[in-house]
């Protein structure tokens, strides 16, 4: 895939994995929000045994809106990304809401609208009845899309 090759080449040419944009989002978060598994897979911090290195700061970072990597992956709608993070002990139900009170489930409903992502988040304990700061529930956001 061209995206995989491009990201790999940029990294080998000195691009920084920890660089952030004006909102504080790093490449891993941006790839997750776009649902780009090819780029996400290249950017994942792995340990020497090829497992996700859950202690790496980019996995725990938030941007200026309070969104985490799990929020971004939910928005991108990739059940595969969410499952990988959940398997590495990232609990979607325990993630603090973003600055506007939105949970991972809000972002899944507002973004790609992936049923699989929403199912995984509900099974992980995310609440469908938790309103954001504007009183909107996840299904309100899904209905707007």
Confidence check: pLDDT of 87 > 90: no
Specify the higher pLDDT residue, 48 or 78. Answer: 78
Q: 29, 69 in Cβ contact below 8 A?
A: yes
Mean pLDDT of all residues belonging to the chain: 91
What is d(CA 107, CA 101) in angstroms, rounded to the nearest whole number? Answer: 11
What is the CATH number for 38? 1.25.40.20
Q: Which two tokens stand for residue 73?
A: 């992956």
CB 139 within 8 A of CB 128: yes
Does position 113 have pLDDT exceeding 80, yes or no?
no
Confidence of residue 90 (pLDDT cuts 50, 70, 90): confident
The CA distance from 113 to 106, in Å, is 10
pLDDT score at 1: 62
Residue of 42 and 130 predicted with greater confidence? 130
Task: Indicate if the pLDDT at residue 48 is higher than 90.
Answer: no
Residue 140: domain span: 2-14+22-144
In DSSP terms, which residues pair with 68 in a beta bridge?
62
Tell whether the model's pLDDT for residue 100 goes beyond 70: yes
pLDDT at 88: 84
Domain total in the chain = 1
Tens digit of pLDDT for each residue in 56-67?
A: 888 889 999 999
Rounded Cα distance, 11 and 23, in Å: 21
């Amino acid at each position: 895939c061209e995206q995989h090759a491009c990201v790999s080449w940029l990294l080998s040419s000195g691009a920084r994995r920890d660089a952030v944009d004006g909102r504080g989002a790093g490449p891993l978060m941006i790839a997750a929000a776009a649902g780009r598994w090819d780029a996400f897979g290249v950017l994942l911090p792995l340990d020497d045994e090829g497992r996700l290195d859950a202690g790496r700061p980019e996995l725990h970072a938030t941007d200026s809106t309070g969104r985490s990597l799990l929020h971004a992956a939910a928005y991108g709608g990739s059940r595969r990304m969410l499952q990988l993070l959940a398997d590495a002990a990232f609990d979607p139900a325990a993630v603090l809401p973003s600055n506007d009170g939105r949970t991972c489930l809000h972002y899944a409903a507002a973004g790609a609208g992936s049923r699989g992502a929403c199912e995984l988040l509900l099974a992980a304990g995310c609440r469908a009845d938790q309103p954001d700061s504007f009183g909107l529930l996840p299904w309100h956001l899904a209905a707007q899309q």
